[in-house]
Amino acid sequence: IWFLADRGQQKMKEFKNWFLKNIDIKLLSLFLAIILWLYIAGGENPIVENFIDISLTQNNLSEDLAIKEFPTNVSIGIKGPKNIINNISSNQINGIVNFSEISKKGSYKLKVEVAAPKRTQITRVIPSEIKVEVERILAKEAEVGYSLIGVPEKGYSLADEPQFNPYMVKIIGAQSVLESVKQTICAIDISGIKEDLSRKIKIKAVDVNGNEVKEVKIEPDIVEVSISLTRGYPEKQLTVKTKIIGKPAPGYYISEILSNPDEIKIFGNYSKISTIEFLETIPIDVSGITKTLSVKVPPALEEGLNIVEGEVELIEVTIQVKEVIIQKILKNISVVPKNLSPFVSCEIKPEVLDITVEGKNILIDKLKAEDIKAFVKFMDNFKVEQKVKVQVDLPEGIFLIKIEPEEVTVSINK
């Protein structure tokens, strides 16, 4: 046993001597080997930078606030080992805008926060800040509107307007969006029905052009609608409205339109007759007319609407036209004496004045200053100096509106 222990100690001593021999060279070799390994590894997986678009989300926004416009994405620069960067997709990283400190409406500039995945670094965010306008969430009540699709089975019609439960709904949304909502509406398909109908229908909000406004919430968004049918068709008395196309000749205008009869009773399906408010004639062309036009025309009836038996089917329309009356100002019209004795002379101040006249367009267009005679009339008891009203002679069809000034000062020189 002693022999074996002594032999083991000798071996350890030999190993120690070997390890310590040229230790500086061995350590240098190890260091160079590590450097070489890092160089080779770095060459295969270098540090790279890439740019990607990522989604932008909002966080901690108060329930009574809304954002008017919010960008959907931002661009980021991300840096890291090539094998990691190449495998990163845009849906693995999100940009976050924190609204926790926003408590009232207004315009704000907020920082975009982006968390980098492991072993990567976010080098830049474009834009690093976004400008947002925060609005209050408001609510308003609206009556449920509707549009009808199709018509019931032949011989049937709606007995009354569709009934809704509830008939009022609440629209909730940002103020600017809420202002764009004209009404809430649902589409009811009554094509071919021949018995009363009850069903649940989804409500949507629409703008003035009928486009759906999706950015609002409707409570409730589903209502129950009831449709009652009746045999036969409802009737309705409608005012006749003349449809005019074109314009009279230049210088003329339509002064009056008369219809005989001025009302007609029609009947038809409720879905059609309930929405019509007047009965229009087929178009009447008045292009270039200069005198009264009388014609007999039928009403323009939609399919599914008919004139009640016994009613007049042709409407006599009389369209009266008149010439346009316009005004004109003629300036610097000379004032002359009238009935003045040949043995005296006079002085008139001012010597000229402005005259406003009116008449038919065709006459006014041709009117010149020399066509108008302005004068003062002398009487036997005329004083040496006095104010006199100006009088005018006008062509036929021309009418005086105003003289400025109305009076002139006349001085007699004997």
The 10s digit of each residue's pLDDT in 74-106 is 999 999 998 888 888 888 899 999 999 999 999
Q: By C-alpha distance, which of 251, 241, 257, 202 is closest to 224?
A: 202
pLDDT for residue 206 is more than 70: yes
When comparing pLDDT for 363 and 20, which is higher?
A: 363
- State the average pLDDT over residues 125-142: 93
β-pairing, 284-285 with 244-245? parallel
Domains 47-127 and 325-413 share a fold: yes
- CATH architecture, range 137-231: Beta Complex (2.170)
| Between 43 and 397, the higher pLDDT residue | 397
Is residue 3 over pLDDT 70? no
pLDDT tens sequence across 28-48: 777 777 776 665 555 567 889
C-alpha distances in angstroms, 205 versus 2, 6, 149, 200? 102, 99, 18, 17
Query: How far is the C-alpha of 369 from the C-alpha of 330, rounded, in Å?
Result: 6
Flag the least confident range among 202-211, 242-251, 301-310, 355-364. 301-310
Spans of all domains in the chain: 2-41, 47-127, 137-231, 235-323, 325-413
Q: What's the rounded Cα separation, in Å, for the pair 331 and 298?
A: 53
Beta strands, E only, 121-221: 121-126, 129-149, 156-158, 163-165, 168-174, 183-189, 197-202, 204-206, 217-219
pLDDT (0 to 100) of residue 2: 46
Report the amino acid identity of residue 397. G
The CB density around residue 390, as the number of other CB atoms within 10 Å, is 19
- The encoded tokens of residue 120 equal 């990567």
Q: What is the pLDDT of residue 17?
A: 67
Which top CATH class is 325-413? Answer: mainly beta
The answer to which of 110-114, 124-128, 227-231, 399-403 has the lowest mean pLDDT is 227-231
Nearest to 298 by CA among 243, 246, 237, 236: 243
pLDDT at 4: 47
Q: Which of 299, 294, 283, 298 is nearest to 319 (CA)?
A: 294
Residue 12, C-beta contacts closer than 8 angstroms, at least 6 positions apart: none
Taking only the tens place, the pLDDT of each residue in 98-108 is 999 999 999 99
Q: How far apart are CA 254 and CA 163, in angstroms?
A: 45
Q: What is the CATH number of domain 235-323?
A: 2.170.120.40
Tokens of 126: 């474009």
Spatial CA neighbour of 122 closest among 76, 85, 86: 76
Strands 315-323 and 345-349: unpaired
CATH number for 47-127: choose from 2.170.120.30, 3.40.50.1220, 3.30.499.10, 3.30.460.10.
2.170.120.30
